[in-house]
């Protein structure tokens, strides 16, 4: 759909900083620690008004051959194969290394067109000493400094010129934000199987999976189509308890997770069946509901369950006991290894997206408000109030998330439990399965003249 630009290079040359500049967001985690980026991080962006897909990759190394490092290489090479244009980044402050020549060798084997970027070029002296760059056999390098935002006008022009010169279709008119897209954010503690579930849904090893906790560092978007519906699957870094979060890379990974949750429609709370329900799972559920997102509770690694039906029933009872504020959230038992109930997650996501768009007419809302007051009149929260609370009328103000405003005589006259009663009655009457709803009690003003 869009031309793909993949950014490659050895570790710590500034690939993620350049990626963030091109997409206009701090999406990739940036650190002085080499090897921070591991998965492919993709984002749709506009360059000089044209829509392009920009892909950040992990640093390509020769020496490190561990499990994670080899997976980083695989992901980077996939990014290169998919690319229409490769941005090859080198560090202009240092001499070329064997790893730089290793990267250029990979690009030649793939027969990819590439644009050389000499990053960290903060002064003219560095440009004068850049003769060595021509040994790579590429066209004139683009001198840039991602930190100081230098050289990006020229870089953007050269990117668009390349697409036009090579007849690669580019489009100005399409909107970047696709309102029909269902954005699902995978949230959970480290090592509960978030990346494995994304891979299972995609049917390919799109993300790096390892038994080592903390493998995922960036929030990674993966777009797929399921039953003619477009999905954006957002894998996130595992969230540990606040006191255990380390400074540096992990701290920024946590921030990216919260940003990913804010731009999603539905949060998938992944729970490890073996480990059971923990306090951190409760906190994560709270984060999702605070953002008024849709919610599906996913119990992963359920292939380990013996006596499946009875044990699942027992586990659901535990969930309802531990999460009393989430009776409306559906529970799915999955196994990323066996691809158990993978399609059920997608079907529920489609249903929840529609529930989040549901709008109830004001006339029905007012009739509902009248019925619930007759069924259970508001009780006074304390003795200081002489008259009870009263609901004058009710209306739905927004969708995605659904928000309902109750116009009342005095919000403080309503006990918090009555607000919960109103939400339960609203769900019984109109559904909103798997959907957070926002209830607001607002005092009647002179402008509010309608009363049933």
CATH classification at residue 406: 3.30.300.20
Task: Tell me if residue 18 falls in helix, strand or coil.
Answer: helix
**171 domain residue, yes or no:** no
pLDDT value at residue 367: 92
Q: Tell me: do 229 and 145 sit in the same domain.
A: no
**44 domain residue, yes or no:** yes
**449 domain residue, yes or no:** no
**174 domain residue, yes or no:** no
| pLDDT band at 434; cut points 50, 70, 90 | very high
Q: Tell me: do 203 and 315 sit in the same domain.
A: yes
Q: Tell me: do 341 and 200 sit in the same domain.
A: yes
Q: Tell me: do 337 and 207 sit in the same domain.
A: yes
Give the model confidence (pLDDT) of 118-140 as tens digits.
888 876 666 665 677 888 888 88
| pLDDT band at 32; cut points 50, 70, 90 | very low
- Calculate the average pLDDT of the chain: 81
Looking at mean pLDDT, say which of 170-184, 243-257, 338-352 comes out highest. 338-352
Residue 59 near residue 14 (C-beta atoms within 8 A):
no
Q: Tell me: do 121 and 191 sit in the same domain.
A: no
Which residues, in sequence order, are CB contacts of 235 under 8 Å at separation 6+? 39, 186, 194, 195, 198, 207, 216, 219, 220, 222
Name the CA dihedral angle for 166, 168, 172, 174, rounded to a multiple of 10 degrees: 180
Domain count, the chain: 3
- Distance separating alpha carbons of residues 227 and 343, to the nearest angstrom: 10
pLDDT value at residue 182: 93
pLDDT value at residue 432: 94
**47 domain residue, yes or no:** yes
pLDDT value at residue 195: 84
Is pLDDT above 80 for 447?
no
Tell me the helix, strand and coil percentages in the chain, rounded to 5.
35, 20, 40
| pLDDT band at 170; cut points 50, 70, 90 | confident
Strands 142-143 and 114-119: parallel
Q: Tell me: do 351 and 366 sit in the same domain.
A: no
Task: Tell me if residue 406 falls in helix, strand or coil.
Answer: strand
Is pLDDT above 70 for 1?
no
Give the model confidence (pLDDT) of 189-202 as tens digits.
888 888 889 888 88
Which CATH number is 217's domain given?
3.40.50.300
Q: Tell me: do 14 and 139 sit in the same domain.
A: yes
- Distance separating alpha carbons of residues 300 and 140, to the nearest angstrom: 51
Is pLDDT above 90 for 359?
yes
Q: Report, as an integer, the average pLDDT of 364-379.
A: 90
Task: Select from 104, 136, 165 the last residue of a domain.
Answer: 165
Task: Select from 165, 191, 216 the last residue of a domain.
Answer: 165
| pLDDT band at 213; cut points 50, 70, 90 | very low
- Distance separating alpha carbons of residues 429 and 131, to the nearest angstrom: 73
Is pLDDT above 70 for 39?
no
Q: Tell me: do 148 and 17 sit in the same domain.
A: yes
HSE-up (13 A, CA, CB side) for residue 409: 11
Q: Tell me: do 315 and 390 sit in the same domain.
A: no
**68 domain residue, yes or no:** yes
Residue 300 near residue 281 (C-beta atoms within 8 A):
no
Task: Select from 304, 329, 356 the last residue of a domain.
Answer: 356
pLDDT value at residue 315: 93
Q: Which domain holds residue 76?
A: 4-165
Q: Tell me: do 204 and 352 sit in the same domain.
A: yes
Label residues 74-102 b or e (16+ Cβ within 10 Å = b).
Answer: ebbbbbbeebbbbbbbbbbeeeeeebbee
Q: Tell me: do 188 and 260 sit in the same domain.
A: yes
Residue recorded with tokens 């009363």? 451
Give the model confidence (pLDDT) of 313-349 as tens digits.
999 999 999 999 999 999 999 988 888 899 999 999 9
**450 domain residue, yes or no:** no
Q: Tell me: do 160 and 224 sit in the same domain.
A: no
- Between 4-18, 236-250, 368-382, the lowest mean confidence (pLDDT) is in 236-250
**177 domain residue, yes or no:** no
Contacts 24+ apart (CB under 8 A), 71-77: 71/38, 71/208, 71/209, 71/210, 72/35, 72/38, 72/208, 74/205, 75/38, 75/39, 75/40, 75/207, 75/208, 76/8, 76/40, 77/106, 77/110
| pLDDT band at 246; cut points 50, 70, 90 | very low
């Amino acid at each position: 759909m869009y031309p793909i630009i993949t950014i490659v290079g050895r570790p710590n040359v500034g690939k993620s900083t350049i990626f963030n500049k091109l997409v206009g967001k701090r999406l990739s985690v940036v650190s002085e620690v080499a090897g921070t980026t591991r998965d492919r991080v993709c984002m749709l962006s506009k360059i000089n008004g044209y829509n392009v897909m920009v892909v950040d990759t992990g640093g390509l190394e020769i020496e490190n051959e561990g499990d994670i490092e080899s997976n980083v290489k695989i992901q980077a090479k996939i990014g290169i194969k998919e690319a229409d244009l490769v941005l090859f980044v080198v560090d202009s402050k240092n001499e070329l290394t064997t790893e730089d020549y290793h990267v250029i060798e990979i690009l030649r084997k793939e027969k990819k067109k590439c644009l050389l970027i000499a990053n960290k070029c903060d002064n003219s002296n560095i440009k004068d000493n850049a003769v060595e760059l021509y040994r790579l056999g590429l066209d004139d390098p683009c001198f840039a400094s991602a930190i100081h935002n230098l050289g990006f006008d020229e870089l953007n022009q050269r990117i668009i010129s390349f697409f036009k010169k090579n007849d690669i279709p580019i489009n100005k008119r399409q909107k970047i934000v696709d309102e029909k897209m269902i954005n699902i954010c995978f949230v959970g503690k480290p090592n509960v199987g978030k990346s494995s579930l994304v891979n299972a849904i995609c049917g390919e090893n799109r993300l790096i999976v390892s038994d080592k906790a903390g493998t995922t560092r960036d929030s990674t978007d993966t777009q797929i189509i399921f039953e003619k519906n477009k999905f954006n699957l957002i894998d996130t870094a595992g969230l540990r308890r606040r006191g255990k979060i380390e400074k540096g890379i992990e701290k920024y990974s946590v921030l990216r997770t919260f940003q990913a949750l804010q731009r999603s429609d539905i949060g998938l709370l992944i729970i490890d069946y073996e480990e059971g329900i923990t306090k951190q799972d409760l906190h994560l559920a709270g984060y999702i509901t605070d953002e008024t997102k849709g919610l599906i509770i996913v119990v992963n690694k359920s292939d380990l369950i013996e006596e499946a039906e009875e044990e699942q029933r027992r586990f659901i009872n535990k969930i309802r006991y531990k999460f009393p504020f989430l009776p409306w959230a559906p529970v799915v038992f999955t196994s990323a290894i066996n691809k158990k109930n993978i399609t059920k997650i997608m079907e529920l996501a489609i249903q929840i997206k529609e529930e989040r768009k549901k709008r109830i007419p004001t006339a029905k809302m007012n009739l509902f408000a009248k019925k619930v007051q007759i069924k259970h009149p508001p009780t006074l929260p304390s003795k200081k109030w002489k008259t009870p609370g009263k609901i004058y009328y009710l209306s739905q103000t927004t969708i995605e998330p659904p928000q309902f405003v109750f116009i009342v005589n005095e919000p403080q006259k309503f006990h918090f439990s009555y607000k919960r009663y109103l939400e339960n009655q609203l769900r019984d009457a109109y559904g909103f399965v798997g959907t957070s709803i926002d209830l607001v009690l607002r005092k009647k003003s002179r402008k509010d003249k309608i009363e049933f």
